[in-house]
């Protein structure tokens, strides 16, 4: 257990996860928990950087937590907790603020994009978001961080801050690396198949949510954008919609793209779309069932949250003690 590398990742509780989150990230996390000391965090404090409706945030936090477990993150194997339950995150974040430059944060692409999107609320939290993320990672001495391409710049910042601190004092933090698993599927929007599938898409037909009913899933696949070629063939350049559906089918069944082409040769897109819907519905059915069970027992869920928050806090405190000592804070 001790020699295993530590892997840390976080996910925001800003709505039901999409099929893209599942095939691209969460499903892989499930496999990582056997190989690594895995830590998964529902980052509710990060969600505060844009205005949330309190009762929705509360509900979505339970939901995100239950979904992680329902997707196969096993609380016996991995540490799964809610960020705000471990006060070390904000504490370390404040300290690290003093080792992060205004210029660095100003260069963050996500900050620029989000400032445009939330023009009326460009708050300090939005600006400081990457420092909280660095604290999440460094607090647990994480070696590996599974992330999507959009978080690379933030991870780079976490590495720089860790190095800066280690050099200023003495080795204190593990310097984390990105973990880009084998082929975490990059699921695209069903309506604009050149863009990533995203729950913030204004057209809800573009994404499949993990809690969508079988009927809704089928409808969304039926209305997925394709082309007029009518051949199930893998050609991401010219047939992005079909390529996306083939990748989804492949990610779930494990069949090769060639095998899928052969299987659906001579069949129309209608039949193929229904087949994709079938495998997705089949994959999500046990997850949805487990999710309902977990959500019907909030007390049970809270007990797991609490136990894991306590374990996480113990790890966090160790790092914080070291940090405080090195920078000259008095501890009694
Ligand atoms: N910023 C990440 C995102 O929006 C979520 C996140 C917060 C995270 N803290 C993290 C991811 C630490 C990896 C490690 O996707």
Domain CATH number, residue 274: 1.10.240.10
- Domain count for the chain: 2
Query: Is residue 114 annotated as a catalytic residue, yes or no?
Result: yes
36 and 166 inside one domain: yes
Helix axes 269-295, 214-222, angle to 10 degrees: 150
Global pTM exceeds 0.85? yes
Contact status, residue 159 vs residue 171, Cβ threshold 8 Å: no
275 and 308 inside one domain: no
Task: Write down the pLDDT at residue 222.
Answer: 98
212 and 285 inside one domain: yes
Alpha carbon 203 to its chain centroid, in Å, reads 21
Contact status, residue 85 vs residue 315, Cβ threshold 8 Å: no
For the chain, how far is it from start to end, CA to CA, in angstroms? 32
178 and 212 inside one domain: no
* C-alpha–C-alpha distance, residues 115 and 125, integer Å: 11
Query: Is residue 326 annotated as a catalytic residue, yes or no?
Result: no
Q: How far is CA 105 from CA 59, 144, 157, 212, in A?
A: 31, 22, 9, 37
User: What residues does 209 pair with on adjacent strands?
Assistant: 18
Pocket test for ligand 1, best of 25, 154, 198 (most atoms within 8 A of CB): 154
Q: Flag whether 27 is in a domain.
A: yes
Q: Flag whether 272 is in a domain.
A: yes
Contact status, residue 208 vs residue 280, Cβ threshold 8 Å: yes
- Taking the CA of residue 8 as reference, the ligand 1 atom at the shortest distance is 14
Instruction: Render 217-262 in DSSP notation, one character per residue.
Output: HHHHHHT----SS------TTT-HHHHHHHHHHHHHH---HHHHHH
23 and 40 inside one domain: yes
Helix/strand number for the chain, H first, E second: 14, 5
Q: Kindly provide the residue ranges of all beta strands, DSSP E only, lying in 112-235, ordered along the sequence.
A: 144-146, 177-179
5-21 pLDDT, tens digit per residue, is: 999 999 999 999 999 99
Task: Write down the pLDDT at residue 176.
Answer: 98
The alpha carbons of the chain give a radius of gyration, in whole angstroms, of 21
Contact status, residue 40 vs residue 178, Cβ threshold 8 Å: no
The sheet with strand 144-146 has its strands ordered as 79-82, 37-42, 6-11, 144-146, 177-179
Segments of the chain scoring below 50 in pLDDT: 1
Q: Flag whether 197 is in a domain.
A: no
55 and 157 inside one domain: yes
CATH number of the domain encompassing residue 112: 3.40.50.620
Task: Write down the pLDDT at residue 182.
Answer: 63
- Residue whose CA is closest, atom 8 of ligand 1? 10
> Is 21 near ligand 1, meaning CB less than 6 Å away?
no
134 and 247 inside one domain: no
Cα 27 to ligand 1 centre (Å): 16
Task: Write down the pLDDT at residue 1.
Answer: 47
- Find the domain containing 221 and state its range: 204-292
Q: How far is CA 264 from CA 46, 56, 103, 191, 232, in A?
A: 44, 42, 53, 22, 6
Q: Flag whether 82 is in a domain.
A: yes
121 and 155 inside one domain: yes
112-162 pLDDT, tens digit per residue, is: 999 999 999 999 999 999 999 999 999 999 999 999 888 999 999 999 999
35 and 75 inside one domain: yes
């Amino acid at each position: 257990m001790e020699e295993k590398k530590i892997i840390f990742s976080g996910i925001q509780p800003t709505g039901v996860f999409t099929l893209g989150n599942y095939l691209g990230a969460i499903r892989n996390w499930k496999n990582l928990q056997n190989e690594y000391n895995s830590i998964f965090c529902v980052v509710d404090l990060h969600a505060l950087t844009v205005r949330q409706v309190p009762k929705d945030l509360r509900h979505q936090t339970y939901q995100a937590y239950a979904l992680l477990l329902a997707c196969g993150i096993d609380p016996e194997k991995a540490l799964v907790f809610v960020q705000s339950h471990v006060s070390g995150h904000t504490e370390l974040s404040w300290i690290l603020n003093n080792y992060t430059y205004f210029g660095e944060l100003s260069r963050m692409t996500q900050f620029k994009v989000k400032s445009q999107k939330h023009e009326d609320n460009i708050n300090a939290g939005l600006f400081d978001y990457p420092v909280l993320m660095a604290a999440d990672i460094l607090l647990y001495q994480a070696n590996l961080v599974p992330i999507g391409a959009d978080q690379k710049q933030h991870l780079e910042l976490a590495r720089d801050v860790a190095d800066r601190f280690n050099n200023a004092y003495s080795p204190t933090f593990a310097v984390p690396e990105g973990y880009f698993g084998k082929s975490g599927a990059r699921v695209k929007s069903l309506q604009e198949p050149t863009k990533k599938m995203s729950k913030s898409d204004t057209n809800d037909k573009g994404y499949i949510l993990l809690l969508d009913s079988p009927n809704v899933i089928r409808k969304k696949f039926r209305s997925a954008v394709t082309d007029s070629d009518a051949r199930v063939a893998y050609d991401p350049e010219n047939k992005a919609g079909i390529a996306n559906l083939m990748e989804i089918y492949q990610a779930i069944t494990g069949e090769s793209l060639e095998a899928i082409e052969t299987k659906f040769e001579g069949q129309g897109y209608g039949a193929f779309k229904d087949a994709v819907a079938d495998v997705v519905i089949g994959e999500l059915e046990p997850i949805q069932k487990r999710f309902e069970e977990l959500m019907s027992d909030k007390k049970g869920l809270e007990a797991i949250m609490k136990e894991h928050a306590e374990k996480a806090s113990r790890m966090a405190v160790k790092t914080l003690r070291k940090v405080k000592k090195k920078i000259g804070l008095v501890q009694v």
